[in-house]
C-alpha cells in the first residue's frame, strides 16, 4: 500500500470507530474487526483517482506546450544557465556562465558542449541560450520626453 493510501485508510477507520464506540475509546479494540469489515464493504468512488489522472495529463500538456525547440549546430557559442547558484545577491553574479562551444546535438534535447576549463560535457538544451559575440551598437537617436 502506498503511503497516501495508508493515510486514507487510517483516517477512514478512525472516522468509523469514532461513530461506533464510546467517547472514552476503551472499546475500540472490540469494534475494530467490525469497522474493518464496514470499510471493506463500503462503496468507494474512483472520482479522486480519475481527477488526479486528468490533472496529470493537463499539467503535462501545459508543460510540453511551453518547451522551446532549440536546434544548436556544432560550432555555435552558447551560455549555460546555472540554476544552483545560491548565496549571491542577484547583482553580484550572473546566472549565465560561458561561453561554451557546441560539439554535437544529441537526441531528446541533449547537447554536448566544450569548455576550455572543463572539457566536454552534456547538458539539457533547455538550459542553453545563444551567445551573441561582437560589439554592441550604440543607439544613435535619443528620444527626449518633455513633460505634458
The three three-digit cell numbers of residue 20, written as one number:
461506533
The three three-digit cell numbers of residue 109, written as one number:
534535447
DSSP state of 137: P
Q: What confidence score (pLDDT) does residue 47 get?
A: 58
Q: What confidence score (pLDDT) does residue 44 get?
A: 64
Q: What confidence score (pLDDT) does residue 74 get?
A: 94
**Class of the CATH-defined domain 77-130:** mainly beta
The three three-digit cell numbers of residue 29, written as one number:
479494540
Return the HEC string of the chain: CCHHHHHHHHHHHHHHHHHHCCCCCCCHHHHHHHHHHHHHHCCCCCHHHHHHHHHHHHHHHHHHHCCCCCCCCCCCEEEEECCCCCCCCCCCCCCEEEEEEEEEECHHHEEEEEECCCEEEEEEHHHEEECCCCCCCCCCCCCCCCCC
Q: Where are the domains of the chain?
A: 3-65, 77-130
The structure's pTM equals 0.47
Q: What confidence score (pLDDT) does residue 77 get?
A: 93
Q: For every one of its 148 residues, what pLDDT tens digit does the chain have, with 9 covering 90 and above? A: 556 777 888 888 888 888 877 766 677 777 788 888 877 777 665 556 677 888 889 889 888 888 777 889 999 999 998 877 566 565 666 788 889 999 999 888 899 999 988 899 999 888 899 998 877 676 565 555 565 5
Amino acid at each position: 500500500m502506498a503511503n497516501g493510501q495508508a493515510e486514507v485508510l487510517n483516517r477512514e477507520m478512525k472516522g468509523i470507530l469514532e461513530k461506533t464506540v464510546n467517547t472514552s475509546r476503551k472499546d475500540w479494540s472490540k469494534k475494530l474487526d467490525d469497522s474493518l469489515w464496514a470499510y471493506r464493504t463500503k462503496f468507494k468512488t474512483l472520482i479522486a483517482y480519475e481527477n488526479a489522472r486528468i490533472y496529470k495529463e493537463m499539467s503535462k500538456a501545459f508543460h510540453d506546450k511551453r518547451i522551446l525547440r532549440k536546434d544548436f549546430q556544432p560550432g555555435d557559442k552558447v551560455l549555460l544557465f546555472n540554476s544552483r547558484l545560491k548565496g549571491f545577491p542577484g547583482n553580484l553574479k550572473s546566472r549565465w556562465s560561458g561561453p561554451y562551444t557546441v560539439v554535437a546535438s544529441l537526441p531528446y534535447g541533449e547537447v554536448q558542449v566544450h569548455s576550455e576549463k572543463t572539457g566536454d560535457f552534456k547538458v539539457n538544451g533547455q538550459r542553453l541560450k545563444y551567445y551573441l559575440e561582437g560589439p554592441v551598437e550604440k543607439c544613435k537617436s535619443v528620444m527626449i520626453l518633455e513633460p505634458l
